[in-house]
Structure 1
Amino acid sequence: MTWRAGPQEGSTKGIIRSPYDQEARTGKKRETTWLGYKVHLTETCGLPDDGAHPHLIVQVQTTVAPIQDIDMTTSIQAGLAKAHLIPDEQIVDTGYVNADLLVSSQAHGMKLLGPTMPDTSWQAKAGKGFDVGSFSIDWVRGQATCPQGHTSARLSQAGERMEMVFATATCADCPVRRDCTRSVTTGRVLHLRPQGAHEALQARRQEQETSAFRQAYQARAGIEGTISQAVRAQGLRRSRYDGLQKTQIQHVATAVAINLVRIDAMLTSTPRGKTRQSHFMRLALHPIWYTQGVA
């Protein structure tokens, strides 16, 4: 006899963990593990932060816990489009961004603003200029040119993915071969996305290193305050009901409550709360220097 974790519904839907709520699933994000659901909140953030324009939650989507954030970007955008709430920019964290979504977001007339995952290839980590972004791509001819000026010899394509392969003889005689490829039998092989996705990804990786991008992205910090308000003041992390549908209703009601609190604060000119600082942090930000003579 062997123990099993529980009935399996599917690789993306997880395992049933509770006999009381058969829709609840186990989720994990970095070091945090929980049983239940996940909520995605969208709020306004482009209005002046002067107290007369409260940031309001305009969309709430609830999923089972194992659903990844990246799988929800398209659904969130479709919901905004259906409600005629398409923004000029949708500011999200890295979990909601990939190359294809950077392109597809433009179909909704919005810019998906968020940092992408860095290139994890060993060439990129070495920082010597031989990652995919360092190659010049001629999409018409189907050729790539490396930083040393050599062109690829062969193109193969399967579906939307393509490979540009450099000749073995070309790479064998290259003085910087060890910084470009570790293969001893073939030349460098580039694995590429479709042109639009490739160019969008490379452009974002360069853009996110600029001060202008970092300044624009700071607007997203407000959503962390919204999450804190929902968790600490409204008990968002504790589901009062069983089942995905009822939990979604609770999440929507919580968002409505937050909006009412913010509208009331605007009407009564109640200032927004400030981030709490520890005594040590206040001392670090406002140092006091003493000068004392010793005889």
Structure 2
Amino acid sequence: MTERGLKPAEHYVDGGYTSAEIILQARALDVEVIGPVRQAGGRPALQGSGYAATDFRIDWQTRQATCPQGRISTRWSDTVIGGEPRVHIDFSGAGCTSCPAKDTCTTAAYRVLTLLPREEHELLQQRRAEQQTEEWKKRYHTRAGVEGTISQAVQCSAVQCSAPAPGILATEVLTAAALNLY
């Protein structure tokens, strides 16, 4: 598409294509990826309570983090996990064991944060805030029409049955590929 001068300025995608790495790679090609990024994970996201990494103030200049209770991290190190760069932040010795909010924060002896590198971390923070706005939701609503069209086309190309007959999956894949080319 780029070779033919048809590169999009914006590319609407689902949540499977919105990692910080993908968004930054697309930006390097002057394409803005528009899609929902995952919310921060961890115990707060799973249980609906507690402190998430997003509740901590990160000072990239001084390489320190401050917890919601005002305690400052004691160690900051750049590391690699699974071949990917990460920032590891410890609060050991910061008073976690005597903190009145410890049970809200962590089940470990002290809190640890593992973050993406600064550019990726800040990008995802910005996107998480943006996708909560009505403006973003309205803009992304365009994607729903595309998804509906693709879904209907794929479903209409296949025989509806409980156990797909041989060749049905191939038909669906070829239909989806044809729609992408179109």
TM-score, normalized by the shorter chain, greater than 0.5: yes
Deviation at 1:214, TM superposition (A): 0.9
1:168 equivalent in structure 2: 93
- 1:152 matched to 2:73: yes
After superposition, the CA RMSD in angstroms is 2.7
Residue among 109, 128, 132 paired with 2:53: 132
Q: Distance in 2 between matches of 1:140 and 1:169?
A: 20
CA distance change for structure 1 residues 140 and 237 in 2, over 3 Å: closer, same or farther?
farther
Q: How does 1:1-295 map to 2 (within 5 A)?
A: 80-128=1-49, 130-159=51-80, 160-184=85-109, 187-232=110-155, 234=157, 239=170, 254-255=178-179
The separation in 2 between residues aligned to 1:107 and 1:158, in whole angstroms, is 25
Structure 1 residues 125, 207: closer, same or farther in 2, change over 3 A? farther
CA contact (8 A) 2:75 2:91 kept: yes
| Distance (whole Å) between structure 2 residues aligned to residue 169 and residue 152 of structure 1 | 6
Q: How far apart in 2 are the matches of 1:251 and 1:200?
A: 31
Q: How far has the Cα of 1:119 moved from its partner?
A: 2.1
Tell me by how many angstroms 1:82 deviates. Answer: 3.8
Closer/same/farther in 2, CA of residues 238 and 102 from structure 1, 3 Å limit: closer
Letter in 2 for 1:230: A
Distance across 2 between alignment mates of 1:212 and 1:230: 29
Residue aligned with 2:76, SS: strand
TM-score w.r.t. length of structure 2: 0.78
Q: CA deviation at 1:167?
A: 2.7
Q: Deviations over 1:132-155 (max 9, x none)?
A: 111111112211111222211111
After superposition, the Cα gap between the structure-2 partners of 1:251 and 1:210, relative to the gap in structure 1 and judged at 3 Å, is closer
Number of matched pairs: 169
The offset of 1:232, in angstroms, is 4.7
Larger proportion of helix: 2
**Structure 1 segments unaligned to the other structure (5+ residues):** 1-79, 241-246, 260-295
Identity %: 37
AA matched with 2:141:
Q
- Kindly name which structure, 1 or 2, has the bigger radius of gyration based on alpha carbons: 1
Runs of 5+ consecutive residues of structure 2 not aligned to the other structure: 159-166
Determine the C-alpha separation between the residues in 2 that align with 1:251 and 1:218: 21
Amino acid at match of 1:207: E
TM (normalized to structure 1)? Answer: 0.51
**Aligned-pair CA distance for 1:174:** 1.6
Q: Is the 8 A contact 2:66 2:73 kept in 1?
A: yes
Distance 1:98 1:237 in 2: 32
Q: Which residue of 2 aligns with 1:42?
A: none
